[in-house]
Structure 1
C-alpha cells in the first residue's frame, strides 16, 4: 500500500517576531525551517540546512529572494529552493500564509 502525503497548516509565530532580511529558525515536527521576512512583508520558509555541508541557512545573508549559506556562500533562491549556478542542489520550500498577523506554514504529513 502506498503512502499518501497530505499537509497540515501550523501556526508558527507572529509576523512582528520577524525582522526584514534576518532569518529565524523554527522547528516543526522535528524539521528545522528557516523563515525570512521580505521587504514587501511576505514571508518565505525553506529547509534550514544547506545541501552542500548542512550550513544553517537561517544565519545566512539575505539579498532579495536569495539567502547565502554562512559556511560556503552558496546562493539559494527562497522562492523555489534551487541553488544558483555554478553550484547545484535544492532545499525544501514550504507554503506560507499570513492571517491576522500570524505566520502559518504547511508541512507534510505522511499517512
Structure 2
C-alpha cells in the first residue's frame, strides 16, 4: 500500500511482527533497496541497504541497541542518522518510519 501524508509518500512494509526483533527486512526499490530494522525495544529505523564504505548489505549486519554493524568490514552505523561511528566516516541515507496500528511504513524520500 502507498499513501501520501503531508506531501510525503509512504510505503507499507508489513506488520511490526513480520520484522524480527534485532533483525531487518528489505524493501526492494529500483532507486536502491531500503533496510528496515526493528530493535529489541521495538523501535523501527530504515537506512539505504548499502554501507557507505564498500556497499555491504546492512540488512545482513548485526544489530545491537540502535546500531548496525556492516557484515563486510565491521563498520558501525547509527540507525537513527545513518552516520558511521568513529573512527570511520560516512553516512547511509536514513528514511523516516512510522508504525500505525501495528503496520510499518517507510517514507520514500531520505531524511
TM range (shorter): 0.7 to 0.9
2:49 equivalent to 1:67 = no
Partner in structure 1 of residue 46 of structure 2 = 45
Mapped partners of 2:55, 2:43: distance in 1 = 25
Deviation at 1:29, TM superposition (A): 4.9
How large is the Cα RMSD of the aligned pairs? 1.6
Mapped contact 2:81–2:94 kept (Cα < 8 A): yes
Aligned length: 104
Where do 5+ consecutive residues of structure 1 fail to align?
A: 1-5
Which has the greater radius of gyration? 1
Q: Which segments of 5 or more consecutive residues in structure 2 lack a partner in the other structure?
A: 1-6
Q: Partner of 2:11 in structure 1?
A: 10
Q: Which residue of 1 aligns with 2:57?
A: 56
CA distance in 2, matches of 1:63, 1:89: 19
**Which structure has more RCO (C-alpha within 8 Å, separation ≥ 6)?**
1
**How many Å separate the matches in 1 of 2:65 and 2:95?**
18
